[in-house]
Amino acid sequence: MEKLIVDPMVCVNHSGDDLAIDIYLTGASKDSIKLDMNKQSFCVKAEGDNSIYNSCYSLAHDINPVKSKASYKEGLLSIKAPLVRRKDYVNVRIN
Query: Is the model's pLDDT at 15 over the cut of 90?
Result: no
Q: What is the pLDDT of residues 29-46, one digit of tens each?
A: 999 999 999 999 999 999
pTM: predicted TM-score of the whole model, two decimal places? 0.87
Domain ranges of the chain: 4-82
Q: Characterize the bridge pairing of strands 51-58 and 34-38.
A: unpaired
Are residues 80 and 32 in contact, defined by beta-carbon separation less than 8 angstroms? no
**CATH class of residue range 4-82:** mainly beta
Residue 87's pLDDT band, with cuts at 50, 70 and 90, is low
Q: What is the pLDDT of residues 42-73, one digit of tens each?
A: 999 999 888 999 999 999 999 999 999 999 99
* Mean pLDDT of the residues in the chain: 93
Identify the CA nearest to 37 among candidates 86, 77, 89. 77
CA dist 45 to 24, 54, 66, 67, 74, Å? 11, 4, 19, 20, 16
Q: What is the DSSP string of 40-72?
A: TEEEEEEE-SSEEEEEEEE-SS-B-GGG-EEEE
Predicted pLDDT of residue 1: 73
